[in-house]
Amino acid sequence: MKKLIYVLAISATTLAFQACNSGTKDAKETADSLNKTKDTTSNAMATGGIAVDQSDAEFATKAAVGGMAEVELGKLALTKTSNAQLKEFANMMVNDHGKANAELMAIAKMKNITLPGMVDEEHQKKMNDLQQKSGADFDKAYTDAMVDGHKSTLNLMNDEAKDGKDADIKAFASKTAPVVQTHLDMITKIQKTLK
Of 116, 70, 117, give the one whose Cα is nearest residue 94. 70
Q: What percent of the chain has pLDDT over 90?
A: 59
Q: List pLDDT tens digits, range 73-110.
A: 999 999 999 999 999 999 999 999 999 999 999 998 88
Model-level pTM?
Answer: 0.74
- pLDDT for the residue numbered 114: 84
Of 119, 101, 107, 105, give the one whose Cα is nearest residue 30. 119
Residue 5 has pLDDT above 80, yes or no: no
Stated as kind and residue range, the H or E segment containing 114 is none
- pLDDT for the residue numbered 103: 95
- Sorting pLDDT into bands at 50, 70 and 90, what band is 21? very low
Instruction: Tell me which amino acid residue 34 is.
Output: L
- pLDDT for the residue numbered 87: 96
